[in-house]
Structure 1
Amino acid sequence: MAHLPFCASIGQLPPGDNTPSEHDGFVIITADSSEGMADTHDRRPIVFAPELAREWLNLAMPKERTEQMLIQQGEPIEVFEWFPVSKAVGNVRNQRQR
């Protein structure tokens, strides 16, 4: 992949006065893993090319276009290079650098 990855996500941020709310936060949207990635994890983030990332940020985008982008236009798994890591990497109790 020759560009930075843009992960599809949705979220809610504090209003202009930055008053936090219990509903603030975001999630990264994932899809089923396929091919070699399925051996490692059953989900993978949906990643967009830069031009689609700009479109994704359009709050007025119709629901149908959103679904089309998520289902059909994420970067294919072939553009990524996957690396196995220790289970300690994903363990929140692990505080050591590796």
Structure 2
Amino acid sequence: MIITAASDEDMVDIHDRKPMVLAPENARKWIDSETSSERAAEIAVEHCRPTEEFHWYKVGKDVGNVRNQGPHLIEPLSVPSDLDDQGT
């Protein structure tokens, strides 16, 4: 399951949504059917890892199509000629 929220900070330049990453124990609480929707919202806000903890890499446009599969989709584009080939 992927939980998303509106982007903030540096993520706005990348996408209008951001992933909300929870530690396993908080994810279990969040998904528990006994957890109220109010408590689930609190868990998401209070325990979501901040954007600053992630490393961002430019990837090819193929990653945006669900029909494309394979490990090459997450390989960073690091060479300037690679960026030119992607039309960015």
- Which TM-score applies when normalising by structure 1? 0.59
User: Residue type of the partner of 1:47?
Assistant: V
**CA displacement, residues 29-87 of structure 1 (integer Å, 9 cap, x when unaligned):** 21112222221111111110122122123211122211111233211111111111121
- Alpha-carbon distance between aligned partners in 2 of 1:45 and 1:68, rounded to the nearest angstrom: 16
Bigger strand share: 1
Specify every segment of 5 or more residues in structure 2 that has no aligned partner in the other structure, as ranges: 73-88
Specify every segment of 5 or more residues in structure 1 that has no aligned partner in the other structure, as ranges: 1-8, 10-27
- Which TM-score applies when normalising by structure 2? 0.64
1:39 to 13, 16, 19: 13
2:24 to 46, 50, 53: 50
For these two proteins, the number of residue pairs brought into alignment is 72
Bigger helix share: 2
| Aligned sequence identity (%) | 47
